[in-house]
Chain A
């Protein structure tokens, strides 16, 4: 096997092997997990640079070409997601190494948290590189189960309820997706995305299949109004788990939806369907933001912010596939690239925010926004990281979020549908409003009498969210290589 193919296979196998090893040898879990994380970051960076220079890496498993065999492919978008996944996961691993702030006692950490995290890592990577709709289902199912377990890891009553609700949505979503897969296989005799391209939409049951799959994926992505499971689950999980759940898991199901609609069936989406998806996205932006504004606890604000930020991702359907996309190929390209910029920069920034919230929770013992005064003094680096991540979510320059908004608004204006662009801009203002509250509260000087002592947090742990936040800004400062890798409409 050549080096890039080895790297691609390692991206899938290494986390799973690591998960098994941590279960088998819980005593050595910490060095095991850290070395897996370090290796994965190195492998992903190597693979990304290879793809950036030489183009996609394709592996036909068992040397059988589709439709007989199964293909995995690391193209530009795939390696970008692999890389961001690796960065977030590695940050979370580092973050969870400290004696305080672990999810649960040490033994449980080794027994459950590390294996689940690595399992999730592998499952997400499998989704990003799979070219087969059934393989994607397997990845999706694994990821969902690991995610639900991570929510419930502390075994508290509230989080168990949240996890159950999440499980219900995730399972229903999986079933709907599987129904679609069955229908497509019955109609076309293949599940390979490349082979389906151009074919999908021809068969009479295809509309039903795509509809069922999209509904299932939307439920897993927490698209409004299927988002009700997300805030309690993401706010209830321990901060490092929330970081992964909010940053990456919803992106995986969205990623499948993008591959399905834009790559496998670009002609199949009719105008009404794409606009409905766009409208749900717009409603998600407004509803999520308003709910975020009304929360009393920092982690809930961040969780509702995810509902809102996911909304932008669905604007790609009307912009790239609707009447706007037909206005010129540049419009669809801008919409696609803008959506990927949004997905990636939100992943980095959201992980940073949840880790910041985790540190604040550790230092203050609570995350009530009204009582955060003094955090700026106790955790200056954390608050700085929070501010930088907020810039990305607001979509202000210089950040990946700005790049995303620039491209999406440009697409909507050039496509002659400025309404979607106005939603994006209004969403930025709403994000500023809901992120300003915790920021300003933390910046206040504490009153003399109500001043609560803060536990100190090591500087290196504060540097972790800062690194993620800087990475999300870097997407906007040096956007050329990622933009090249995204490559426009597939």
Chain B
């Protein structure tokens, strides 16, 4: 079935990206119209597809490159989960970025690569085959680099080196794994899984290791996580996008695809690969939290928190049970909503009040109430306070762990919750319960930087409160898993 919808959705990000490169630095109106227009159109298309896919329609587009090599775009429930997240958060981040940068230099370059980055993320979500996934995955690596080094100072150049130093070897591992698998099994489509008949179990384990190595870099799993805190040198909208949507999520999403749609849960269980990966994810969860506790800068603490939280998704996928997978998939969205709120707010603190360090947050709650409320919502959600989104995730992951016969995971979750509380509550205490220093009251203008944070903050509550609804992240994750387990 050929379909025009998937390419059209890609075009809503690609065309603005290409056009933006050619715009003059001063053409603010054109640039903003293009980017916002593309983002709005995309959200519209995604909503249309949500309704279609919920009703059971699938969209698929196959583009032949050379005989035997093709690109496959496929909209299924899982791709829509990631697609919806990226489309909605792209729109909000674009609004935020326009207000954040205002009239700073090099904006055409920035928004061009920004849209290209979203194009790549969309492609990853829509990929229906391993090769397609890889192509967009690499495009993401390349289009993110100019964003990471956007400030062009020494710190961001170092971050850029570190980013590529981890990413490129990871891509090589991933490409080798894909070509190895495909040379034995032919082109791999996610809808059918791979045929492992020609590979012995040792080769299968090596393959899994290569896949995991390639994906773990982007998912920032220990010990391949160091690039992520370094990438904090990028401007706030980039951090928001990197930590909530684009890069780390691409890695986590890749894990879900590889475990469930390439190897299949039975093979992962038979080869005994799930538990070691779950253990690595657990180590990452705890290590990231401990490191977060040790940071004194707000953005660095948030970065290590991401290291920790993204591995919840990997954990959910690695436990290879329905409930755990629901928890992991829901967290893909939940973490995105909560973390982007936190980064939006950290950007506002930085931009409007010049606050980078945790110690400088004293009394900011009274002075910047909107930002501080949103920040608190994000933080409480991360800790897993009921009824916030993070709570729902942890419940499902815990239940899934029991179901999969790995009760130790519950201890990891409990430990992580304590650590989350330990590194977020002191911030909230400073924000709300310490007296503010003297001085001028920083403003919370323009609306463009505050409103996106308010929306995502409310979204994080809604995702938890309305978790039972069909179109909540949890409801959608349940739909994916039901379809997956009952073909």
Contact = CB atoms under 8 A, between A and B. Distances in A.
Contact of A440 (B64, B67, B161, B180): B161
Interface string A188-228: 00000000000000000000000000000000000000000
Contacts of B265: none
Contacts of A406: 69, 179
Interface string B182-215: 1100000000000000000000000000000000
B138 interface: yes
Contact of A397 (B67, B139, B160): B139
B169 A396 contact: no
A397 B138 contact: yes
Contacts of B164: 432, 436
Given A396-B138, A429-B169, A429-B172, A413 B64 contact: no
A380 interface: yes
A410 B176 contact: no
Contacts of A445: 152-153
Interface string A436-467: 10001001110000000000000000000000
A425 B171 CA distance: 10
Contacts of B142: 391, 396
Contact of A398 (B135, B169, B176): B135
B47 to A, nearest CB: 29
B161 A443 contact: no
A76 interface: no
Contact of B183 (A376, A413, A444, A480): A413
A397 B142 CA distance: 10
A443 B65 contact: no
A483 interface: yes
Interface in A391-409: 391, 396-398, 402-403, 406, 409
B250 interface: no
A480 B64 contact: yes
Nearest to A441: B157
B157 A443 contact: yes
Contacts of B28: none
A443 B149 contact: yes
Nearest to B150: A443
A419 interface: no
A483 B149 CA distance: 37
A391 B142 CA distance: 9
Contact of B160 (A380, A403, A418, A440): A440
Main secondary structure of the interface of B (DSSP, over half): helix
A448 to B, nearest CB: 13
Contacts of B69: 406, 479
Contacts of B21: 384
B192 to A, nearest CB: 20
Main secondary structure of the interface of A (DSSP, over half): helix
Interface string B131-157: 000110011011000000100111001
Contacts of B23: none
Nearest to B158: A440
A425 B172 contact: yes
Interface in A360-398: 376, 380, 384, 391, 396-398
Contacts of A479: 65-66, 69
B168 A429 contact: yes
A409 B169 contact: no
B109 A444 contact: no
A444 B155 CA distance: 11
A428 interface: yes
A414 interface: yes
A15 interface: no
Contacts of A376: 152
Contact of B134 (A391, A397, A422, A480): A397
Nearest to A395: B175
B168 A409 contact: no
A425 B139 CA distance: 17
A421 interface: yes
A191 B143 CA distance: 51
Contact of B182 (A397, A402, A410, A432): A410
Given A397-B134, A432-B164, A380 B109 contact: yes
B105 to A, nearest CB: 9
B179 A421 contact: yes
Interface string A16-28: 0000000000000
B172 A414 contact: no
Contact of B180 (A391, A413, A483): A413
Given A397-B135, A410-B183, A425-B172, A440 B66 contact: no
A440 B168 contact: no
Taking each of B67, B160, B175, which has the highest tally of chain A beta carbons within 10 Å of its own beta carbon?
B175
A337 to B, nearest CB: 8
Given A432-B164, A483-B66, A410 B138 contact: no
Contacts of B135: 397-398, 402
B77 to A, nearest CB: 27
A406 B160 CA distance: 26
Contacts of A421: 176, 179
B231 to A, nearest CB: 15
A337 B64 CA distance: 16
A443 B179 contact: no
B66 A444 contact: no
Contacts of B172: 425-426, 428-429
A444 B152 CA distance: 5
B73 to A, nearest CB: 14
A406 B68 CA distance: 12
Interface of B: 21, 64-67, 69, 109, 134-135, 138-139, 141-142, 149, 152-154, 157, 160-161, 164, 168-169, 171-172, 175-176, 179-180, 182-183
9 contacts: A380-B109, A398-B139, A409-B175, A429-B168, A436-B161, A440-B157, A443-B157, A443-B160, A479-B69
| 3 nearest A-B residue pairs (beta carbon) | A413-B183, A483-B66, A397-B135
